[in-house]
Amino acid sequence: MEQVAPLKFARFVCLTLALSAVAPHVSAQFHLQFDPGQRIWSMENSVVRAVFQLTEQGMFEFRSLTDIGSGNIWAPPPNYRSSPIRFRLQEANFDEHTAYRLVRQAAAAAPRRSYRQSIELEDLRGYGRVLLELEMFEKQPVLRYRIRFQNLRPQAVRMLDADMAAWSFDDRGKAFRAFYVNQWVHGGANGNFEPIPRTLAGTGAPVQLFTGAYGQHCTWLALRDEQDRGLFAGWEFDGRANAILRRYESGSRVDLSAPIQELGRPLAANGTFQIPAAFLGVFQGDWDEAGYRTQRFAEAALTRDLPGGNFPWIVWDSWMYRTDIDEPTLRRNAEIAASLGAEVFVVDLGWARQIGDWRADPVKFPSGLRALSDYVHSLGMKFGLHLPLAEAAATAPVLRNNPDWTSSQSYGYFSAESLCLSHRPVRNWIAGEITRLIDDFQLDWILQDGENMVKRCTKTTHTHDPQDSNYSNAVDGLNWVVQTMLTRRPAVHWENCEDGGNMMTFNMVRNYVTSIAADDSGPMTTRQAIYGITYPFPPRYSDRYMPDEELDTYKTRSYMFGGPWILMNRLAQMRPEDLELLKSEIALYKTLRERIRDGKVYHLSARPAENRIDALQSHHQETDTSVILAFRPTAAANAYRARPKGLKPERSYRVRFQDDRRLLTMTGAQIMEGGIRINLPGMWTAEFAYIEPIAN
């Protein structure tokens, strides 16, 4: 980074041109300016502008976040200080009242069509330095940020509290609603991605989210006032955090915070601590708009690259056989799966000698698992394995030889013990085992499973600090293992599964290409999960497990919206007519998958329930096409009046259906105002409506 110096406009233009030569994807839409006299930073990307200042007193303060398109300005109340820097050492607080000196600042092009402003501050008490990195991405109405602290004391200090979302905003006298989403909690018993709207009381009463692995909620929330002027926020941390949203009517203020739970990180002299990155975005509209802006930002800035242009894939998984699998059974299912159009073949739990003993069972696989992998590849499919990498049976060699490698709390995954991933010998062993498995079996896909991937461990015999279990097991443990493997074997794709969908975070999307939603729980529960999960997360992060063997289109189509469609059917036991139906439905899914993956989700109906019709729309903005998926469980009505959104009012469209032979021609205004009648003549039926523009 460069030393502090006046950054004049002419120099800024030269800097932009020079960086564009190095990073051609960085657009001239970015404007980053630093006023050295006022010590004000302004950065914008043509859709959003953020302003910060280091005041004369040395306080680093948030000034404003502006939605350039609508003109909406989010700023702290007048004469109120707000700073994104908020953490606590054992000896001192760092917040909006902390005085700093500016050490250096710099602006540079960054990956994925972004620009980064770095600001390094040293607190005047001499405790340490703070590096704040602010990022904006091309055409995204979002500010992403992260904070790192370096201990300058000659002795060790302990980080006790760190806030990933420290913001305060003027409420401008408006009423506010908050919106967030459950995870799949304890097998769905305590949550199945239910959307939760809340009105913020003016008394400061908190709206609270318990997020991260084994938490209650996804790491995302949205907020909007009575004029549909909105903010959304997310944090990139797989560990547990307790996010809080409050409104103080007397102070005309809305406060947001997302502190890490149970933090107790020791920092040696010159040691550093990285607060997980987070983001703050603006929107104008409803919750669908908040979700879509979040999803497009996530795909642009955070997610793993798509495995291929035709992703999400059709996957077959052996779980309906439970652990009663063997080589002949799997070979026969592989043949059928390939003939149906499956693209990935996954061997689920039961392939190994036991959990934690990651060698193929020689009785089940006398030819070896590599022979099965080679056979699957010969059929044109990718080969994957189920791997609960943080679990081991007590009798597995790894625990017989290393009994202290368990975490202090075990979570009971199929009677196995939990391993402490932040204990360095454990994580090194796991990374070595996964490398061996990938190479020996030529893996293309890993289904990561387990019960709470961020374990709780307070053992004093491990390499992590016993007071820092949550952060250590998330960052130094799980993240280290997965990121190490992605570096070593980048061609292998990872699917996230934790007790179903119970680690839905914006760090998860950085490591995995998809995530399970509601486990193998049936058509209704699956649609309920998809309804909620497609608010905060891109549709590809919602794969579905279909276990049924006797099929109809109500069942098959209940699994088509979202990421990979994962078949768990015992194919060798299915009737010919069911296999024929499945083959045709897979072909149908393949015509829809990329459009749904990249489209804007509109939640047209209320959340699915047995006594009413439910419908989701995906609108692909580039092609101006839509598909609506409608389902009738036991509802009395035999039709649904869908009112699609996102169309151009003056444009003419053709409306057709998957089963119904009607063909309609209507303007966008007629479709959106009057709606489309979708016929569902019987109970447990499904119908798709397609809306396509007519060329002039």
Q: Which of 459, 353, 447 is nearest to 397 (CA)?
A: 353
Q: Is residue 196 scored above 70 in pLDDT? A: yes
> Element (H or E) spanning 668, and its range?
helix 668-674
> Element (H or E) spanning 246, and its range?
strand 241-248
pLDDT tens profile 587-634: 999 999 999 999 999 999 999 999 999 999 999 999 999 999 999 999
**439 shares its domain with 345:** yes
**1 in a structural domain:** no
* Confidence at 124, pLDDT banded by 50, 70, 90: very high
396-404 own/partner pairs: CB under 8 Å, 24+ apart: 396/354, 396/355, 396/356, 396/357, 397/356, 397/357, 398/356, 398/357, 398/429, 399/356, 402/426, 404/459, 404/461, 404/462
User: In the beta sheet, which residues pair with residue 259?
Assistant: 163
**571 shares its domain with 605:** no
**281 shares its domain with 343:** no
User: In the beta sheet, which residues pair with residue 231?
Assistant: 223, 282
**4 in a structural domain:** no
Residue written as token pair 């459950």: 182
Terminal C-alpha separation, the chain: 54
CATH classification of the domain holding 123: 2.70.98.60
Mean pLDDT confidence for 125-147: 98
The whole-number pLDDT of residue 335 equals 98
The whole-number pLDDT of residue 309 equals 84
273, 301, 329 - which closes a domain: 301
* Confidence at 28, pLDDT banded by 50, 70, 90: low
Query: Number of structural domains, the chain?
Result: 3
* Confidence at 189, pLDDT banded by 50, 70, 90: very high
Task: Give dist(CA 60, CA 501) in Å, integer.
Answer: 38
CATH classification of the domain holding 438: 3.20.20.70
The whole-number pLDDT of residue 545 equals 97
Q: Which of 370, 372, 317, 304 is nearest to 343 (CA)?
A: 317
| Token duo for residue 507 | 């760090």
By the 8 A CB rule, do 283 and 141 touch?
yes
Percent with pLDDT over 70 in the chain: 96
**134 shares its domain with 173:** yes
549, 565, 598 - which closes a domain: 598
CATH classification of the domain holding 667: 2.60.40.1180
| Token duo for residue 600 | 């804007």
241-248 vs 207-211, strand pairing mode:
antiparallel
Residues with Cβ within 8 Å of residue 169, at least 6 apart in sequence: 74, 75, 76, 77, 82, 231, 253, 254, 256
**561 shares its domain with 610:** no
pLDDT tens profile 249-285: 999 999 999 999 999 999 999 999 999 999 999 999 9
**218 shares its domain with 172:** yes
Task: Give dist(CA 494, CA 490) in Å, integer.
Answer: 10
| Token duo for residue 312 | 């999400």
**289 shares its domain with 338:** no
**95 in a structural domain:** yes
268, 301, 334 - which closes a domain: 301
DSSP 276-332: EEEEEEEEES-HHHHHHHHHHHHHHHTSPPPS-TTPSPEEEEGGGGTT---HHHHHH
Alpha carbon of 15 to those of 44, 46, 48: distances in Å? 16, 18, 21
**510 shares its domain with 634:** no
The whole-number pLDDT of residue 37 equals 97
**308 in a structural domain:** no
DSSP 447-511: EE--S-SS-----TTSSS-TT-HHHIIIIIIIIHHHHHHHHH-TT-EEEE-BTTB----TTHHHH
Q: Is residue 152 scored above 60 in pLDDT? A: yes
Residue written as token pair 């291929």: 308
**594 in a structural domain:** yes
Mean pLDDT confidence for 106-116: 97
Alpha carbon of 531 to those of 149, 156, 525: distances in Å? 39, 48, 10
**81 shares its domain with 106:** yes
* Confidence at 12, pLDDT banded by 50, 70, 90: very low
pTM: 0.96
The whole-number pLDDT of residue 499 equals 86
By the 8 A CB rule, do 153 and 127 touch?
yes
pLDDT tens profile 56-109: 999 999 999 999 999 999 999 999 999 999 999 999 999 999 999 999 999 999
| Token duo for residue 351 | 């392939």
Helix ranges, 346-479 (H): 369-378, 397-401, 424-441, 469-471
pLDDT, the chain, mean: 95
Q: Which of 25, 18, 152 is nearest to 92 (CA)?
A: 152
Q: Is residue 169 scored above 60 in pLDDT? A: yes
Mean pLDDT confidence for 231-238: 98
The whole-number pLDDT of residue 27 equals 59
Alpha carbon of 201 to those of 196, 246, 250: distances in Å? 15, 8, 11
The whole-number pLDDT of residue 17 equals 30
Domain containing 150 equals 9-301
**173 shares its domain with 68:** yes
Torsions phi, psi for 478 (to 5 deg): -55, -50
Task: Give dist(CA 101, CA 105) in Å, integer.
Answer: 12
Task: Give dist(CA 350, CA 334) in Å, integer.
Answer: 17
**3 in a structural domain:** no
**335 shares its domain with 271:** no
Residue 369's SS3 state is helix
The whole-number pLDDT of residue 295 equals 98
The whole-number pLDDT of residue 568 equals 98
Q: What is the DSSP letter of 259?
A: B
* Confidence at 696, pLDDT banded by 50, 70, 90: low
Alpha carbon of 569 to those of 28, 141, 315, 525, 566: distances in Å? 52, 43, 11, 17, 9
pLDDT tens profile 440-451: 999 999 999 999
By the 8 A CB rule, do 20 and 28 touch?
yes
**2 in a structural domain:** no
Q: Which of 566, 646, 696 is nearest to 285 (CA)?
A: 646
User: In the beta sheet, which residues pair with residue 44?
Assistant: 31, 49
**625 in a structural domain:** yes
**588 shares its domain with 666:** no
